[in-house]
Amino acid sequence: MTGISETIIYNNYSQTGLVTNMQKGVDLDDIFDRFLKPKTPIFKERDALRATYIPDFLPHRDREIQQLANILGPIMAGDIPSNAFLYGKPGSGKTVVTKYVIKHLHEKAADAGIKFEYSFINCQMIDTPYRVYATLCDTVAVDTEIATTGLSTDEIFNKFSEKLEELDLHLTIILDEVDLLLKKASKSLYGLTRINTDLLNSKVSIIGITNNVSFKEQIDARIRSTLTEQEIVFSPYTATQLRDILEERSRIGFYDDVVTSSAIERASGIAASEHGDARRALDLLRVAGEVAETNQEQKVTADHVKKASTVIETDTVKEVLITLPIHAKVVLLAIALLDHERSSPKHDLPTTGDVYKLYYDLCKQLVLDDLTQRRVGDLINELDVLGMIRANVVSKGRHGRTRIIRLAVQALEIHRALEKDPRIFEILPNPEFWLTNQP
Ligand code: ADP
Ligand code: MG
């Protein structure tokens, strides 16, 4: 019935030419046109803005590329290069520079008839010696399969080294985020760092990469010297450098004239103030593009970047915090509480010592065995690397040096993530607490 009458009404309209836009406040044409039109073209190649993409040109990394290429160069002459150790804050281009150089070396070696292979291992995923060696077995198992189930770590290592020896090649092993592996098993790479003494035909070199600048001291002494024969330090990008990187990448990722210079300015500004993180800058720009796309806008503006920053913030803080070990959560809660207390101007910024004291009290409340002040210092470093806090070294005159510590994200966001942990939940204040007493 309704169907019929609607048809009739529709027919009536078309017959009488009433199908114009009569409802003055509502632009129906516009609404329907928007569905008719293809989506506003914003992205030419969205993937070019993701962290996994390797561009052909890496602005402001000439020095690091040259250094790494010079270290690996001997491979072209059939010699074993020094092992290299790369460190710098997250998003400073360590992974992309390594992939870039190794890819070119691989092509060049193939052209010259040199047998060279590499294995890129992300220790965030492959985080035990067993799994590292299993991955290496996969790398060297050309056309075959090496059965690794049921083997001990030593056995699997031997399988790998036998197979490698048969192949008569140079293998470079890249251990990205190697601190995550060594933290679990500090001596685990000992065999690998000594493997060349047992090999007659093949050769191995290692590139270790870490975000954790103070990690070197924590490596087991017997492997430290071998792993860190040559070091390359990646400094954080400045705002201007980030701008160049973003401009270069948006040429590939976005259509021409879509990204405004104010958007690039804003994204590089935000990322520069957060330890010069190029990943952050690119994420901001990509998400800003997605916001513009959803709103069917033609340009990506600074406002879109600002929106993007709130979207990203909420997601990453939660993700990062939820997986932290309990002691890191307690340390972070202590810092949040001290930071909040400081809102009244009479308080100085808290130091490592202040954090430790409160951490200690919180552990008592939680009936948790407290860690040493040194370990808490390490956790503070890690929280800094994760971008949750800022720890700056200051001189205290004749009292030596200490670090002053402040939160780098909203306390309420930390609260929202910490409350997911039933143990910590017990000692959290009400959420409203964080909103009171603001300066
Ligand atoms: P790190 O390994 O130091 O954490 P990455 O190498 O993963 O950092 O870089 C993070 C993101 O920033 C990646 O998407 C990478 O392609 C990009 N990037 C970093 N440095 C540059 C650069 N100089 N030019 C272009 N893109 C860069
Ligand atoms: Mg990396």
The C-alpha atoms of residue 32 and residue 180 are separated, in whole angstroms, by: 53
Contact 28/21 with Cβ under 8 angstroms? yes
Contact 77/259 with Cβ under 8 angstroms? no
Q: Which ligand is nearest to the CA of 89?
A: 1
CA of 91 to the centre of ligand 1 (A): 5
DSSP string for 179-227: HHHHHH-TTTTHHHHTGGGT-SS-EEEEEEEES-TT-GGGS-HHHHHHH
Given the CA of residue 61, which atom of ligand 1 is nearest to it?
A: 23
The mean pLDDT of 348-359, rounded to a whole number, is: 91
Of 264, 257, 258, the closest CA to residue 239 belongs to 264
Q: Whose CA is nearest to atom 14 of ligand 1?
A: 51
Q: What is the pLDDT of residue 183?
A: 79
CA of 333 to the centre of ligand 1 (A): 31
CA of 248 to the centre of ligand 1 (A): 12
In the structure, what pLDDT confidence band is assigned to residue 40 with cuts at 50, 70 and 90? low
Q: Is the dihedral of CA 179, 180, 186, 187 positive or negative?
A: negative
Bridge-partner residues for 394, per DSSP? 402
The C-alpha atoms of residue 143 and residue 303 are separated, in whole angstroms, by: 53
Residues 222-233 have pLDDT tens digits of: 888 899 999 999
Given the CA of residue 248, which atom of ligand 1 is nearest to it?
A: 25
How many CB atoms neighbour CB 369 within 10 A? 7
Q: Is the dihedral of CA 155, 157, 158, 160 positive or negative?
A: positive
CA of 320 to the centre of ligand 1 (A): 20
CA of 267 to the centre of ligand 1 (A): 15
**Residue 129 main-chain phi, psi, to 5 deg:** -55, -40
In the structure, what pLDDT confidence band is assigned to residue 125 with cuts at 50, 70 and 90? confident
CA of 223 to the centre of ligand 2 (A): 22
Residue 409 belongs to what H/E stretch?
none
- Percentage of the chain lying above the pLDDT 90 cut: 55
Residue ranges of domains in the chain, CATH in brackets: 2-36 (no CATH), 62-234 (3.40.50.300), 238-319 (1.10.8.60), 324-435 (1.10.10.10)
Q: What is the pLDDT of residue 64?
A: 97
Given the CA of residue 88, which atom of ligand 1 is nearest to it?
A: 3
| Number of continuous H segments (helices) and E segments (strands) in the chain | 18, 7
Given the CA of residue 278, which atom of ligand 1 is nearest to it?
A: 12
* Start-end of H helices in 17-49: 28-36
Q: Whose CA is nearest to atom 23 of ligand 1?
A: 58
Contact 281/242 with Cβ under 8 angstroms? yes
Residues 244-265 have pLDDT tens digits of: 999 999 999 999 999 999 999 9
Testing ligand 1's pocket by substitution, the residue of 52, 279, 385 carrying the most ligand atoms inside 8 A of its CB is 279
Residues 359-403 have pLDDT tens digits of: 999 999 999 999 999 999 999 988 988 888 988 888 777 777 888
**Residue 251 main-chain phi, psi, to 5 deg:** -60, -35
pTM for the whole structure: 0.70
Q: Which ligand is nearest to the CA of 175?
A: 2
Average pLDDT, the chain: 87
Contact 49/249 with Cβ under 8 angstroms? yes
Instruction: Please report where in the chains the tokens 């046109």 appear, as a residue.
Output: 33
Residues with CB under 6 A from ligand 1: 51, 53, 55, 58-61, 88, 90-96, 245, 278-279, 282
CA of 51 to the centre of ligand 1 (A): 7
In the structure, what pLDDT confidence band is assigned to residue 182 with cuts at 50, 70 and 90? confident
Residues 401-419 have pLDDT tens digits of: 888 898 888 888 889 889 8
Paired tokens of 46: 């969205």
